[in-house]
Amino acid sequence: MVKAKALAFLLCENATKGRDGKVTLHGLFDRIIIPRNPRDDKLFFVYYKIVAKGPCTVSLKVRHSSGQEIPGNWRDSFSHLGPVQSIWALVASLFKRPGNYALELRQEMKGSKPFSLASMLFVVDQGGE
């Protein structure tokens, strides 16, 4: 049973979450440039806002257009009802090769496949020297 509805799903350069639960986003985008030098690795954020209709767990799936999934443990569980927003931090070095990537916000469901709440495509380019 679907217990969440997506209201927003975005990528941004910087995000902060206050004690009051408010999230501040800076620099929305849909393309990243992976650095050639690993020391120049950059952090960016996935923001989402859902309405929880019951206790639920949401997760993030990241995959390259070739089908290769990027491993990660991006998962949040909620026990209260109503609007919820949060962020997950990712590093550019997760994306080893240029190309098109898909992000999918999913609700995990016991005994069945996760349900897709939202998805987006973004492009990864290789940085210059």
**Domain hosting residue 60, numbered range:** 4-126
Q: Report, as an integer, the average pLDDT of 70-78.
A: 93
Measure the CA–CA gap between 110 and 8, rounded to whole angstroms: 24
Q: How confident is the model at residue 40 (pLDDT cuts 50, 70, 90)?
A: low
CB under 8 Å to 15, separation ≥6 — which residues? 23, 24, 25, 26, 45, 47, 87
Mean pLDDT of the chain: 90
Q: What is the pLDDT of residue 73?
A: 92
- pLDDT of residue 38 exceeding 70, the answer is no
Q: Report, as an integer, the average pLDDT of 70-75.
A: 93
Measure the CA–CA gap between 32 and 3, rounded to whole angstroms: 32
Q: What is the pLDDT of residue 128?
A: 59
Taking the whole predicted model, whether its pTM rises above 0.85 is answered as yes
Domains contained in the chain, number: 1
11-48 b/e (C-beta count within 10 Å ≥ 16 → b): bbeebeeeeeeebebeeeeeebebeeeeeeeeebbbbb
CATH number of the domain encompassing residue 109? 2.60.40.2550
